[in-house]
Amino acid sequence: MMSGRKNLIVEVTSLEPGKQTELIGELDRGLIEELFDSLQFLSDVQYKMILFKSKHELFVTGSVECEVESPCVRCLKPVQTEINGEIEATYIAKGEISDDETEQELESLENVIYYVGTEVDLFDRVVEAVVTGLPDRFLCAPDCKGLCPYCGADLNLEEDHQCSHRGGDAIDPRLAALKKLQLNNNSEKDDK
């Protein structure tokens, strides 16, 4: 099994047209972790790709797997999850396609990448697969109650939390006008 970023650089001229080539390896988590702010990689990124070269294109499909940790968006507890991302891209050598109709057809496809020279670097495809494999939000549990907005207490641990900082004087001065409107609106409803 190959590891490291240099193994993701493919010499296109070494691939035999009409045949599939398998690219399996792992990317050291340190190489990818620096690209993400609040994400900690708990494992290296495993990748498996199939490369297929035709006359002018290189088709790449595959998957990535890794385990990451990030804070819960509600209570900030660490949440571990397994990432399973998909890779799909078509590489075309810049200037190889001469038929305008064929070029327009290829450009209408998603994930078409033009390259210059004889090498393509698949590192960005691995990163892209990790990003698309991430959950929308990291939650420790679907019913996580989060933190008290006044004192920061974990509401999952204190079911009947009564915050002493929640008194009437704890209103943010920038929201005082809204609080006054709410009180006026409530008193009008009581008068009816």
Could you read off the pLDDT of 164-178 as tens digits, one per residue? 776 555 566 777 787
Provide the residue ranges of all domains of the chain, joining segments of one domain with +. Answer: 1-192
> pTM for this structure?
0.74
Residues 88-141 pLDDT 10s:
999 998 876 555 555 555 555 567 888 888 999 999 999 999 999 999 999 999
Instruction: Check pLDDT > 90 for residue 143.
Output: yes
Could you tell me which residues come within 8 angstroms of residue 59 by beta carbon, excluding any fewer than 6 positions away?
Answer: 51, 52, 53, 89, 90, 91
pLDDT at residue 188 in the model: 73
Instruction: Check pLDDT > 90 for residue 83.
Output: yes
DSSP annotation of 147 reads B
Instruction: Check pLDDT > 80 for residue 29.
Output: yes
Task: Name the average pLDDT for the chain.
Answer: 86
pLDDT at residue 98 in the model: 54
Instruction: Check pLDDT > 60 for residue 43.
Output: yes
Instruction: Check pLDDT > 80 for residue 27.
Output: yes
Could you tell me which residues come within 8 angstroms of residue 153 by beta carbon, excluding any fewer than 6 positions away?
Answer: 147, 161, 163
Question: CA 18: distance to chain centroid?
Answer: 33
What's the average model confidence in pLDDT over 152-173? 77
pLDDT at residue 151 in the model: 85
Could you tell me which residues come within 8 angstroms of residue 45 by beta carbon, excluding any fewer than 6 positions away?
Answer: 26, 27, 29, 32, 64, 65, 66, 126, 130
> Cα–Cα distance between 146 and 7 in angstroms, integer?
43
